[in-house]
Structure 1
């Protein structure tokens, strides 16, 4: 079997396992896995920019929140149906990422990181400023009757699980296809040696901008899906914390790997969940484990697997 076929079988196998788990998981873990899949889609979006293009962003909460509020406000303020509201969330994320990318990509390195953080913080403060519509820190609930998509009640646990599965599956397969295309290869070349990519005649700025827009749109899809599936839109999702989370998930799972974002999200979610059941100082336990992983698996869990066992793993 060729390496391409092995790779496809591996990733499709994960999707088959996730599909099958719907029928066997107890209610608690069933709900957790639905949440993890949507958040993993967010991490997948972040991984395109950080893992494959080499751009460290601390402003991805802006895209996640753009998708969430683009969707939520369409329903809450204009009474839109879920589908056009989701499209509005995607468009909001794409436009915001285009604007941010066009401005932030004029900087490099640490300056890029700081600029994205500043834009994200500005977005968070904007949400608070327009509290009349966004309800600020309190946020607002999307009622069950407003979460019916084509006669499918997304508040139902089974429907919610499959919707989360669809969001994650699309983002996963899109990334897998991306890294096999010439465009994806150029992004990796930019990550490895930007000057050499420029010398070879590639438009580095255009490729970076496209990566920012694609990353931001996938993140917005995750944000819109999260708000619709779990019925809540709040300013906490626009905070710095939600810009740090995808970075941690990607680093833990393995930056620049297709499966890394999911593995990192799953690991981090259950690490906090299990340690919080042991002690109120659960973040101390989580911190110690994260430090150990950073020391002994610096490439992330999937990254170490690639280094040690499967060199061609995308």
Structure 2
């Protein structure tokens, strides 16, 4: 089997496994996997920018929140149905990513990290300032009747799972195709040696801008999907915490690996779930796990799999 065939088999195998989980696992784990798949889409967004382009953003929560509030506010105040509201959420994240990319890419390295963090804090403060509409930290709930998708109830266990599965499937396959394309290879070239990529004639700034836009838009898709499936919109999702979490997921799962985001989100979710049963300091345990993994497996869990099992892992 060719390398491309192995890669496609792996990705479709993962999707078949997730599909089978709905019929095999108890209700608690089915609900957990719904959340994991949505957050994995968010991590895929960051992985495009950080793992494949080498740009570390500390403010990705603003894109997640843009998608979330774009959908939530349009349903609550404009009275639009789910599909156009979802489009508004994605468009909000896309427009924000264009603006942030045009401004933040004037900087490099640590300055880029700081600028993205400042933009994210600005968006967070804007959400709090317009608390009359956003309800600030308290947030607001989208009612069941407002979340009907073409007469399909996404509030049920099955509805939520299959919408999350469908969206994750599209994002994973599209993500895998992107990183194996010439565009994806150019992003990797920029990550590995930006000056050499520029000497070869690539418009490095343009590729970076496209990476920011794609990354932010995908993260916005995750935010809109989260609001739709779980019915809650709150300022917490625009805070620094939700900019750091996807970075932890990508690092744990394996930056620059297509299956890294899913592995990282699942690992962190169940680690926190298990440790929270014994202590309220569950984030300390998660932090220790990250430190240990960074020391002994700096390329993440997917990096271990690449070294030991699948050397062709993209």
Tell me whether the two structures share a fold, i.e. TM-score over 0.5.
yes
User: How do 1:76-115 residues align onto structure 2 when only pairs under 5 Å count?
Assistant: 76-115=76-115
What's 2:305 paired with? Answer: 305
CA apart distance, 1:296:
1.1
Residue matched to 1:256: 256
Distance (whole Å) between structure 2 residues aligned to residue 110 and residue 54 of structure 1: 12
Q: How does 1:1-314 map to 2 (within 5 A)?
A: 1-314=1-314
- 1:167 shift after superposition: 1.6
What SS is found at the alignment partner of 2:51?
A: helix
CA contact (8 A) 1:97 1:217 kept: yes
Contact 2:248 2:290 in 1 (8 A): no
CA contact (8 A) 2:67 2:221 kept: yes
Q: Distance in 2 between matches of 1:281 and 1:185?
A: 41
CA contact (8 A) 1:45 1:171 kept: no
The CA distance in 2 between the partners of 1:165 and 1:11, in whole Å, is 13
Structure 2: stretches of 5+ with no match in the other structure: none
Does the 8 Å contact 1:123/1:238 carry over to 2? yes
Name stretches of at least 5 consecutive residues in structure 1 with no aligned partner. none
Distance in 2 between residues matched to 1:175 and 1:283, nearest whole Å: 29
**How many angstroms apart in 1 are the aligned matches of 2:179 and 2:287?**
32
Distance in 1 between residues matched to 2:265 and 2:284, nearest whole Å? 18
Q: Distance in 1 between matches of 2:243 and 2:205?
A: 23
1:38 Cα deviation after fit: 0.1
> Runs (4+) of structure 1 moved beyond 6 Å?
none
Residue 54 of structure 1 and its aligned partner are, at CA, apart by 0.3
Shift of 1:176: 0.3
CA RMSD in angstroms, aligned pairs only: 0.8
The Cα of 1:246 is off from its aligned counterpart by 0.6
Matched residues, number: 314
Task: Please state whether the residue corresponding to 1:52 is helix, strand or coil.
Answer: coil
Give yes or no for contact 1:253–1:263 (8 Å, CA) kept in 2.
yes
In structure 2, distance between residues paired with 1:230 and 1:49: 27
1-structure distance, mates of 2:280, 2:119 = 34
Equivalent residues of 1:70, 1:88 under 8 A apart: yes
1:22 partner SS: helix
CA contact (8 A) 1:64 1:220 kept: yes
Kept in 2: contact 1:66–1:89 (CA 8 A):
yes
Cα distance in 1 for partners of 2:308, 2:116 equals 34
Contact kept? 1:179, 1:185, Cα under 8 Å = yes
Tell me, what secondary structure is at the counterpart of 1:201?
coil
Q: What's the offset of the Cα at 1:290?
A: 2.0
Q: State the 1:180 CA deviation.
A: 1.3
